[in-house]
Chain A
Amino acid sequence: MAAIKANRESSAQTRPNAWQPRRGRLRTWLADHRRVASETSLFISRRIVSSLLVWLMIGVALAMPGLLWMLQSNVQSLSQQWQGSTGLTVYMALGASEQLIEETATALEREPAVTRFQLTTPQQALDELLARSSESDLLQQAIAEVEANPLPASFGVILDSEQPYLALEALSRQLASRSGVDEVVVESTWLERLRDLSRLANRGGSALITMLLAAAVLVAFATIRLAIDARLAEIRVLALIGATRAQLRRPFLYLGSAFGLGGGMMAIVLMAVFLNQIEAPLESLLVSYGSDPELSAFTPQIILLVLTAGWLLGITGALLALIQRLGMKNSG
């Protein structure tokens, strides 16, 4: 009784403006956030296996668009790097006369699609080969043992990059039919195909990314909804004792954030594993095309982007679940 009386006396001083909302003190508001954060950590640690599965599901759904986006930006950057080398290499037949070489050069000069070209004589080609093979004694020895120069003259032809691919094909056929020309290689063939693939990835990728991101939101939504259902009794009690809407929503928004951020981290791990697997064969493929590619993988921006996307997806899922289960569209 004495305890009640003491409580009662001190409470008399704390009751002005009985039920009008008052601004909470920042310190206690922050303390409440800390408490909810700690409860969320506890909630997740007590359900670590199911939480890992949620992170994995969100991670997979995020990693796919992330990888597509990285692939797309790398393809774009590679095609820009190789824009200048779009063209043809015209290989003359072995022993082609100087006159045939000059006639071919004149034909290239007259061709409007040709921006510029450069002749590499058999001797220049041999010198270049010897320079490149300086570290291989075996190759040097093999070249020395060959009596005549085995390399033909060739023209490196740079073409107008605006030319359609079909026009380049026609030019290549026309040059190949000339006397003294052995072979014409269209250097841009694979690049054109890569660009076509990139365009396809752009269109199909957008739809795929949308679907996968929607899947990530749905995973967060379903998980938070289950969490709300499991805590309905607690929500009822809290609402009855005067918890505001913000206080009722806060644990679930924290949970959505935790699932989203965890999913983002899982996505980064999955992307790293995938990129690690394909790094060596991809580099070897690109080097085989005579390029020294610089692929952009995990820049801080990409990591930040994936984590932010994960967090936003988690929060969106949580908000949808709150609206659906508790009808909490308004802040409060």
Chain B
Amino acid sequence: MTYLQLQHVTQRFDNGSEGLSEVTVDIEQGSMVFLTGHSGAGKSTLLKLLIGALVPTSGRVVVDGSDISRLGPRALPWYRRQLGIVLQDHNLLDDRSVFENVALPLRVTHLGTKEIGRRVRGALATVDLSDRGHLYPRHLSTGEQQRVGIARAVVNRPKIILADEPTGNLDPYLSRQVMALFHQFKDLGSTVLVASHDIDLIKDQGCRILHLSQGSLVQDTDGPKD
């Protein structure tokens, strides 16, 4: 079942350059897809369109049957609560503990304290950081920080996980660990879209690969059928 759709999406910026040009792509629910290409190919632009941070100049971005570029400012936050977003620079808050960083998405949904505690502990266990909850991000290694970012992305049980260069700061071993985590979430039904330029790592995953170049989709390689 098609879950994410980009229909003839063009994204033109104020300076006249095109981030994406007439991109059309369908992504199945519960699949894991890689976006690849050089810097400036349009990977981050595509993810920003899916996050709702950009509105396409033309075309439609459809998620679960709804055109998200038409979501108003009131509905957009509710859409984003269904997403798990992992960024290369983690975006962790330095003045909050690991536990509080992971709990942030639950705080905005007004969950009760007990439920928040239960879910955060679960998410930290998933990324193997159960004993790091009381520490602050500055006390963690880069790899651990990245895993905290992943825990925060999945703690709200997202339907869609969008990751932008999630292994950019990690060594090969940690990168494979992170990919294994994404596979786990895919197996549990999340739709996972990972932007990365690490071709070697991507090839090992056996997933569908969308190759972007200068804003256009130039190659769509299917992974092995499950």
Contact = CB atoms under 8 A, between A and B. Distances in A.
Interface in B94-117: 104-105, 107-112
Contacts of A330: 73
A22 B77 CA distance: 11
B75 A21 contact: yes
Interface residues of A, number: 36
Nearest to A18: B82
B74 A21 contact: yes
Nearest to B72: A332
A183 B53 CA distance: 87
A20 interface: yes
Interface stretch (A174-182, A199-207, A240-248): A240-248
Interface in A19-60: 19-22, 24-25, 28-29, 31-32, 35
B71 A19 contact: yes
Contacts of B110: 24-25, 28-29, 31-32
A229 interface: no
Given A4-B184, A8-B188, A35 B109 contact: no
A212 B125 CA distance: 56
Contact of A243 (B77, B126, B157, B185): B77
B78 A247 contact: no
- Category for how many chain B residues contact A: 35 or more
A167 interface: no
Contact of B81 (A6, A234, A242): A242
Nearest to B92: A237
The winner among A8, A15, A237, A245 for most chain B CB atoms within 10 A is A237
A28 B109 CA distance: 9
Nearest to A22: B78
B76 to A, nearest CB: 8
Contacts of B91: 233, 236-237, 240
Nearest to A17: B78
A105 interface: no
B8 interface: no
> Nearest 10 pairs between A and B by C-beta?
A28-B110, A19-B79, A242-B81, A11-B157, A242-B80, A3-B122, A19-B78, A241-B105, A243-B108, A242-B77
Interface of B: 51, 53, 64, 66, 71, 73-75, 77-83, 85, 91, 93, 104-105, 107-112, 119, 122-123, 125-126, 152, 154, 156-157, 159, 184-185, 188-189
